[in-house]
Chain A
Amino acid sequence: MDKSAFPDPTFVISGPMHASRRHDSAHKHVTGTADYIDDLPEPSGLLHGALGLSDRAHAEIVGMDLSEVAATPGVVWVFTGKDVPGINDVSSNGSHDEPLLAETKVEFHQQPIFAVIAETRDIARRAARKAKIEYRDLAHWSDIDGALENGGALVTSPMTLSRGEAKSEMANAARRLKGRMRIGGQEHFYLEGQIAMAIPGEDDEVTVWSSTQHPSEIQHIVGHVLNIPSNAVTVNVRRMGGGFGGKETQGNQFAALAAIAAKKLKRSIKFRPDRDEDMAATGKRHDFMVDYEVGFDEEGRIHAVDATYAARCGFSSDLSGPVTDRALFHADSSYFYPHVHLTSKPLKTHTVSNTAFRGFGGPQGMLGAERFIEEIAYAVGKDPLDIRKLNFYGKPGSGRTLTPYHQEVEDSILERIVGELEESADYQARRREIIEFNRDSRYIKKGIALTPVKFGISFTLTAFNQAGALVHVYQDGSIHLNHGGTEMGQGLYTKVAQVLADSFQIDIEHVKITATTTGKVPNTSATAASSGTDLNGMAAYDAARQIKERLVAFAAEKWDVPVSEIAFLPNRVRVGNQEIPFPDFIRQAYFARVQLSAAGFYKTPKIHWDRAAGKGTPFYYYSYGASCTEVSIDTLTGEYLIDRTDILHDVGRSLNPAIDIGQVEGAFVQGMGWLTTEELWWDAKGRLRTHAPSTYKIPLASDRPKIFNVKLAEWSENAEHTIGRSKAVGEPPFMLAISVLEALSMAVASVADYKVCPRLDAPATPERVLMAVERMKAVG
């Protein structure tokens, strides 16, 4: 390498840990040169696939005539489940309850039944509509009520968390309340839809480019449907245009279909569903119905909680088990329940199988807890914030630190976070002003709420908490970085590159970030559960450590200096009294035959979980945060505005404050969408009618809080030994949006002088707000 690329040694490198740094692909994003899978140069002879979808919600398939589809000019192959060489199943959890292509029975509207391969995507899509399929309809239900009315079949085994004597102690509480909360689902609406491109290789080999958060699972599924071993399958992904959990398991079907056709036809195959098909045929966030009973004292201190969490899971199990588990893990939000009994009900419905989505059940669990708080607050006539503070987990030794799953909360910084936010947002004065405003304003009402976040970090399936990285240092001193995490916009690649730059003390420009591939790092976990940086950052750190140890040993021997006199300084290495530019140092190491490549590995310590017993330490640590939101509502129409939001969020010692603030802001607005305008709507035939942005409304720029103050808790440091003492940031800030729903609720409650809990369900569309106002008018 030209040494001018390593200019004069500087005192600091560019892109160290803890520095704000632009996203590694920012220049490519803004110029349109960042390649997503549909942008990659197409192999010659590439064919395109399209799905043939069911138009019934639940029916037996009694006849299928695909001759017109096959006869369409340009169509090369039409195939069904019978043509799958291996197992016709794409279930992510091995339960074999999710056929790739339905053969005898369909269990949701728009379930894939066959696939068409054609010369162009347009031909394939048009041909798919020519199928003649005969059905015998079966009884179907789309929602939780329907599932319960029809026997309440489950897609996977439920979980119970229990501590103390919730049932008997409920009777001993001074006051008791029963209620029900309905919580809507959410479409991911990643801007880049699902896509896969399969390129056949020799023998049984196949390479798949997939927009996936979980390359190893795609590899496994492709092997499984083709009946070939994993070593024949290579899965690549450079970046996704958004994931949010929607590409953790939902890419399986497209990759599997593309791979089957690629091997059969010996041509490259691309599968890219249209937005409507993507929304209809891939899973979403689970809707929940929480039935609760809460016992508390006259002060508002919780004594006992007994609650059931019923979830719309769709037709198969997918990730519904761990999602409903995580709902229970977060059913305490930030509060200590002396006696508690929580049960999940993962219900089967004739809808697409619901799946992972940022927060993974946690938001629904927490939202239920904040409803309990509201109920208590209106019952005892206090500000909900006072009730929150009264029920926060206590300090170690207070006897108020044990969660419903028997893990101690030892690292809580909530009191400080909430206290600082209360102060900086001027909560108390503004709340007083709002109450005054509401007294005089006849139709426009305001509300304010300050809500906390405590979110447990780690996969609850312990085995997933491992990661690998592969780092090469080349002779010219440039570094090649690969790890098992995937980039979906969250800045993971940038952060891990910072870890390497920092470890070797070289400018980040010398670290080449490469596409995630199963060929370099095997057996990876999904980039999910907010764990990407914690796991992969540590794995890369471990690889760097190994190489550095070899380099230090080499230098100590060659220049005959003690190890203590060798240091990696910015873009150079000090060996005794001399400073050697990094590339020169590396070249010498190469000639001394030092291995300049290492595979790093990391597994999260301390955690364990016994699901059957409902006991353990599923989380390595907790992330915290708080938000305060003010809203205005129009009591004539239910329309509202988010006037202001203040956020103070904990990411430990931030690896990259600019990226972390981006995650916090983005998560908040996405959470706000979930709780306000994003509504999934199925008709009586079980058809999802909100299947495109024309009918499904995610927030716009003009929906974000008009005043939006976002800060990181700069003083925070992870108590656990994580990479740079940072904390996970992907999911926790999503739940900061709960303050929006609570603020809307307060505005509604003003109509009945804050005497009745409005029981505002989610999403709080203008319609739900207006109907809640009407209920308040009726009781007030």
Chain B
Amino acid sequence: MNDSIRFILNGEDVALKDVKPTETLLDFLRLKRRLTGTKEGCAEGDCGACTVLVGRLIDGKLHYESVNACIRFIGSLNATHVVTVEHLAAKDGTLHPVQQAMVDCHGSQCGFCTPGFVMSMYGLWLSNSNPDRAEIEKALQGNLCRCTGYEPIVKAAEQVARTRPSALFDPLERTRSDIVARLWAMQGSGTISITSGEDRLLVPGSLEALARILADEPKATIVAGSTDVGLWVTKQMRALNPVVFINHLQELQTITSGEGGITIGAGVTYTRAFETIASKVPTLGRLITRIGGEQVRNMGTIGGNIANGSPIGDSPPPLIALGATVKLRSTEGTRMLRLEDYFIDYGRQDRRPGEFVESLFVPYPAEDTHFAVYKITKRRDEDITAVLGAFYLTLDEQGDVNDVRIAFGGMAGTPKRARAVENELIGRPWNEETIEAVRDAFDTDFQPLSDWRATAEYRQLTAKNLLTRFYLETTGAPAELRRFEEVA
């Protein structure tokens, strides 16, 4: 039982005993199963040509989500239902309504990206019966098309929503209860351990088991969403051994909004976290919709974004500005520390051997505070940050700055507070003169680099200007361009 990865592929049960820890779902589909409808466009989770759906049980309910097969490891698929484009049309060749809409609207030209688009639209169709344009564009953020200019694809998504046929037509709606039962049977409680040649992968059965594994194997690579680690394999061709998969652990999947804030389990994906976060901290919700594409948000976790310590991770600056704390766990027990203190230097974090991130606690901004986060990129959506600024502010009764926390990404080797700017601001009246006066302090805080995303000059100027934007927004002036008012 615990020597294989078991999942359902379209209709068929699969049990794999010999799995390399870095074998991707895409290679498995194309090379081993000859399911060639799923394409490789970039092998880094950015183009969406490899989009498939993965169904999994969350609190006993079956959810299907679009994912990038190119950076999804087989080891992370235990007790899931993998659905490829081959599964959609009826046996007699009748197209699924999503496919038919793409044909009717002339949504394909070269056709290479099309199966991926069909799967992303299908994922949207399953989860949202009446998407608006903003929701359609959000669902398609992770799919690149170079031929059509997207207009006919968006129209297809609108058409299929309008002419929603009966659920019986749909292969996944029809088999839902059967799939739930089969997935339920696949969920074991023990740890799965597979050795393939010299490589080993582990799927711990519990949080405790995870801690024990990491105590024994402090050099093991922990993989949650694999939206970053996937590229270590496909692009850098790194050998990872052993690999520990944690994305299935229910204990890491909880997100709760309590009295003072939100507790986010390290395994909670951006998509799962979105609703809770957006309802409590809308500006942070908007930021989430600009991280990766839908497939990446369905896989990637906030915990992973923190744990890997990237200087351009999008979640750390706003979480630092909000005063978030991180809970680390090992066999020794747990400890809490301020997120800000977790990031020591470029590539260095305060995480001891055998420790892993268990959860985050994000306090709500108090009623009388202002909080905003702005992400600046070359392309608005599905792009990596050039500059990201998060601002947290409280004013006293006179309207002077009482407390302020400003944190930036993309400006230094780690996510970093703008201490000099903050110090200049404290005690001053919150007005335009002050904003002008403190601009120079950014030069003390940051000496950003030039690279392909932006020059140092642009980063510095934009960082200063984002403080102006924040000021304007606190006065109620419209200051940011938005394509749609809100993305629900």
Contact = CB atoms under 8 A, between A and B. Distances in A.
B378 A677 contact: yes
Contact of A38 (B36, B46, B104, B469): B36
Interface in A470-513: 488-491
Nearest to A662: B106
A706 B466 contact: no
Interface in A653-684: 658-659, 661-662, 665-670, 677, 679, 681
Given A634-B480, A634-B481, A276 B110 contact: no
A661 B89 CA distance: 28
18 contacts: A30-B108, A31-B88, A32-B36, A35-B36, A192-B41, A192-B110, A239-B111, A244-B146, A275-B42, A636-B468, A666-B148, A693-B41, A694-B384, A695-B452, A700-B140, A701-B136, A765-B378, A766-B376
Contacts of A243: 110
A186 to B, nearest CB: 11
Contacts of A244: 146
Contact of A700 (B37, B40, B141): B141
Interface in B294-338: none
A633 B144 CA distance: 24
Contact of B147 (A129, A242, A638): A242
B111 A668 contact: no
A241 interface: yes
A28 B36 CA distance: 12
Given A30-B103, A31-B89, A489 B111 contact: yes
Given A30-B95, A242-B147, A765-B378, A770 B37 contact: no
B379 A29 contact: no
Contacts of A491: 109
A50 to B, nearest CB: 11
Main secondary structure of the interface of B (DSSP, over half): loop
B288 to A, nearest CB: 15
B112 A191 contact: yes
Contacts of A193: 41
Contacts of B46: 692-694
Interface of A: 22-23, 25-36, 38-39, 41, 122, 125-126, 129, 188-193, 239-244, 274-276, 443-444, 488-491, 632-634, 636-641, 658-659, 661-662, 665-670, 677, 679, 681, 689-690, 692-695, 697-704, 706, 708, 710, 765-767, 770-771, 774
B152 A662 contact: yes
Contacts of B86: 31-32
Nearest to B133: A706
B472 interface: yes
B34 to A, nearest CB: 8
Contacts of B359: none
A679 B103 contact: no
Interface stretch (B74-82, B248-256, B343-351, B453-461): B453-461
A737 to B, nearest CB: 10
Interface of B: 27, 30, 34-44, 46-47, 49, 84-86, 88-89, 95, 99-100, 102-104, 106-115, 118, 136-138, 140-141, 143-154, 231, 234-235, 237, 374, 376-384, 386, 451-455, 457-458, 461-462, 465-466, 468-469, 472, 478-481, 483
A700 B146 contact: no
Contacts of A770: 458, 461-462
Nearest to A682: B452
B47 A191 contact: yes
Nearest to B467: A636
Given A31-B88, A692-B44, A708-B151, A697 B237 contact: no
Which of A122, A670, A693 neighbours the largest number of chain B CB atoms within 10 Å of its CB?
Answer: A693
Contacts of A32: 35-38, 84-86, 115, 118
Contact of B140 (A38, A633, A695, A701): A701
A25 B111 contact: yes
A704 B27 CA distance: 33
A444 B483 contact: no
B42 A693 contact: yes
B149 A669 contact: yes
Nearest to A36: B112
Contact of B452 (A190, A639, A689, A704): A689
A23 B43 contact: no
B378 A702 contact: no
Contacts of B114: 29-30
Contact of B49 (A129, A191, A639, A708): A191
A641 B484 CA distance: 11
Which of A640, A681, A700, A765 neighbours the largest number of chain B CB atoms within 10 Å of its CB?
Answer: A700
